[in-house]
Amino acid sequence: MIDFHALSKTYGQFDAVKNLSLTVQKGEVFGFLGPNGAGKTTTIRMMMGILVPSSGTVTIDGIDCHVDRAQVQLRVGYLPDNPIFYDYLRGREILQFVAEMHGWSRRDAIARADRMLEEFGLTEEAQEYAVNYSMGMKKKLGLACAMIHEPQVLILDEPINGLDPRASRDVQDRLRDIAAQGRTIFVSTHLLDMAERLCSRIGIIHRGQLAASGTPEQIKQKFSEGNDGTLEDAFLQITAQSNSSADGASGAAT
């Protein structure tokens, strides 16, 4: 469903993403992990056609994310790390607008907006302006916008940052249900516990390069010390390695 082929993004002499090759299957929840500045958000912005790759390609459902950006966006629900809305639209109006932009009739868009408001616990705030929403409320509204058109692929950048524990659990349960329906989820996160619980496979990017990929269990066994090593142990070992060491480790856990 998602295919990266030697994807790179360079700024002058700096390689933000370098030769990223990776495949994500339909129905998979794939976790994309890495330290701050590793290249996660740059990769996602290339997936959404916001940034132009320096070389290589990324396709979603066989469609080039740069060449056919509009077609990709019809098939994808996207949540940025810090969702931004028109300040002086109300929550219900924002959801209705997004649904109509995806081709739903006014009547269906209103019905979908009301359903998403209820599912995300935003009904009481439906008539409030988005400028007055808390960070957690904005994150839930952003998730609702990403899901309102029932996309085949969700691309989520830190989806539960700012959510309280109950809302976080509800979102993770919802993502599992979506994956069980055969839809694909690509999620970037710093939360290793969430990644281990939620993701069928993960990839760890370090200094712009894919340092390891595989199931959480495979990565723990390969990179953590001892039989009781955690994903955090493995992550810290992988991201402490130099680029040359990471290159050698990349294929081993795939």
Whether 231 is in a domain gets the answer yes
Q: Is the confidence at residue 247, as pLDDT, over 50?
A: no
Token pair in block for residue 180:
């069980």
Lowest mean pLDDT among 113-127, 152-166, 218-232: 218-232
Q: Is the confidence at residue 251, as pLDDT, over 50?
A: no
Residue 254: the pLDDT is 43
Q: Is the confidence at residue 9, as pLDDT, over 50?
A: yes
Whether 62 is in a domain gets the answer yes
Work out how many domains the chain is built from and give that number.
1
- Give rounded-to-5 percent helix, strand, coil for the chain: 45, 25, 35
Whether 197 is in a domain gets the answer yes
Q: Is the confidence at residue 156, as pLDDT, over 80?
A: yes
Lowest mean pLDDT among 177-181, 189-193, 225-229: 225-229
Residue 90: the pLDDT is 95
Exposure string of 101-127, with b = 16+ CB inside 10 Å and e = fewer, is ebebeeeebbebbeebbeebebeebbe
Q: Is the confidence at residue 170, as pLDDT, over 70?
A: yes
Whether 122 is in a domain gets the answer no
Q: Is the pLDDT higher at 214 or at 229?
A: 214
Q: Is the confidence at residue 163, as pLDDT, over 70?
A: yes
Burial of 253 per CB tally in 10 Å (0-12, 13-18, 19+): buried
Whether 47 is in a domain gets the answer yes
Whether 27 is in a domain gets the answer yes
Residue count (the chain)? 254
Distance from C-alpha of 146 to C-alpha of 178, rounded to nearest angstrom = 12
> What mean pLDDT is predicted for residues 28-40?
93
Whether 46 is in a domain gets the answer yes
Eight-state DSSP code of residue 65: T
Residue 250: the pLDDT is 43
Whether 90 is in a domain gets the answer no
Angle at 158 between CA 176 and CA 207, to 5 degrees: 115
Give residue 86's pLDDT band: very low, low, confident or very high (50, 70, 90): confident
Residue 227: the pLDDT is 58
Residue 230: the pLDDT is 86
pTM above 0.85, yes or no: yes
Distance from C-alpha of 10 to C-alpha of 149, rounded to nearest angstrom = 34
Q: Is the pLDDT higher at 140 or at 229?
A: 140
CATH number at residue 60: 3.40.50.300
Domain span at residue 190? 2-84+152-250
